[in-house]
């Protein structure tokens, strides 16, 4: 199975996925990185990992449709079967999502449906939550909404700062996302309405550190 990662920023989740592929924890080919930001850190990470990289900037296109059609062209040329959103700071159109229905995954740094949006960690911290977490879900036409694959909690302790909470959350992301991708690649995810059923496999999912 050929996988493409979409990213706009530092690319720490990209690196976690690349390591999991290299170690055989994800039995697929990380074939492509799509990035929309010149100078993004993920570009150098992909280069070091030997992953083909394509920069597609929305400013180079008159319409969003043209921008997305160019991305689709690259996906089809590289025979991509699964799209992984890893900090790609653009909302995909319903048309794009429909074209790759149930083949786009996203990770969100909160326990959805709580704290949707781009500042979920800060929002949970400022709100005074005792527990937040990480969610991996299928992408649908609504933001941070599709069927949930995996969730795991992060405890917010009294001595946590926003920075320490961000660090703990990202650390959990780097564990949870490769697990969810592996489940998809192994064909163990069955969407049943708004729920996702995980079918039995050769080994159970590892436990998560709650801190």
Q: Which of 74, 108, 174, 208 is catalytic?
A: 108
Split at pLDDT 50, 70, 90, the class of 58 is very high
The fold for domain 106-211 equals Rossmann fold (3.40.50)
> Do residues 167 and 179 make contact, with C-beta atoms less than 8 angstroms apart?
no
Three-class secondary structure assignment of the chain:
CEEEEEECCCCHHHHHHHHHHHCCCCCCEEEEEEECCCCCHHHHHHHHHCCCEEECCHHHCCCHHHHHHHHHHHHHHCCCCEEEECCCCCCCCHHHHHHCCCCEEEEECCCCCCCCCCCHHHHHHHHCCCEEEEEEEECCCCCCCCCEEEEEEEECCCCCCHHHHHHHHHHHHHHHHHHHHHHHHCCCEEEECCEEEECCCCCCCCCCCCC
**Same fold: 1-100 with 106-211:** yes
- pTM of the predicted model, to two decimals? 0.92
Split at pLDDT 50, 70, 90, the class of 207 is low
pLDDT tens digit string along 105-162? 999 999 999 999 989 999 999 999 999 999 999 999 988 899 999 999 999 999 999 9
> Do residues 157 and 129 make contact, with C-beta atoms less than 8 angstroms apart?
no
**Any catalytic annotation for residue 108?**
yes
Domain boundaries, the chain: 1-100, 106-211
**What's the rounded Cα separation, in Å, for the pair 103 and 85?**
11
pLDDT for 209 equals 43
When mean pLDDT is compared across 26-30, 35-39, 197-201, the lowest value belongs to 197-201
Tokens of 104: 């786009």
**What's the rounded Cα separation, in Å, for the pair 197 and 46?**
32
The fold for domain 1-100 equals Rossmann fold (3.40.50)
Candidates 32, 12, 6; CA nearest to 174 is 12
What percentage of residues in the chain have a pLDDT greater than 70? Answer: 95
């Amino acid at each position: 199975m050929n996988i493409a990662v979409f990213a706009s920023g530092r690319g720490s989740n990209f690196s976690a996925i690349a390591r999991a592929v290299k170690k055989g924890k994800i039995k697929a080919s990380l074939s492509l990185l799509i990035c929309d930001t010149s100078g993004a850190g993920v570009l150098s990470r992909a280069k070091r990992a030997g992953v083909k990289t394509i920069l597609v900037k929305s400013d180079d296109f008159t319409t969003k449709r043209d921008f997305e059609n160019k991305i689709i062209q690259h996906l089809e040329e590289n025979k991509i079967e699964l799209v992984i959103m890893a900090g790609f700071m653009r909302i995909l159109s319903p048309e794009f999502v429909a074209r790759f229905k149930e083949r786009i995954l996203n990770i969100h740094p909160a326990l959805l449906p709580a704290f949707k949006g781009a500042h979920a960690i800060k929002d949970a911290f400022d709100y005074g939550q005792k527990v937040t977490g990480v969610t991996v879900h299928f992408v649908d036409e609504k933001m941070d909404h599709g069927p949930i694959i995996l969730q795991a909690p992060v405890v917010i302790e009294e001595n946590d700062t926003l920075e320490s909470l961000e660090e703990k959350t990202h650390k959990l992301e780097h564990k949870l996302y490769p697990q969810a991708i592996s489940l998809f690649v192994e064909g163990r995810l069955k969407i049943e309405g708004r729920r996702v059923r995980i079918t039995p496999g050769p080994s159970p999912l590892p436990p998560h550190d709650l801190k």
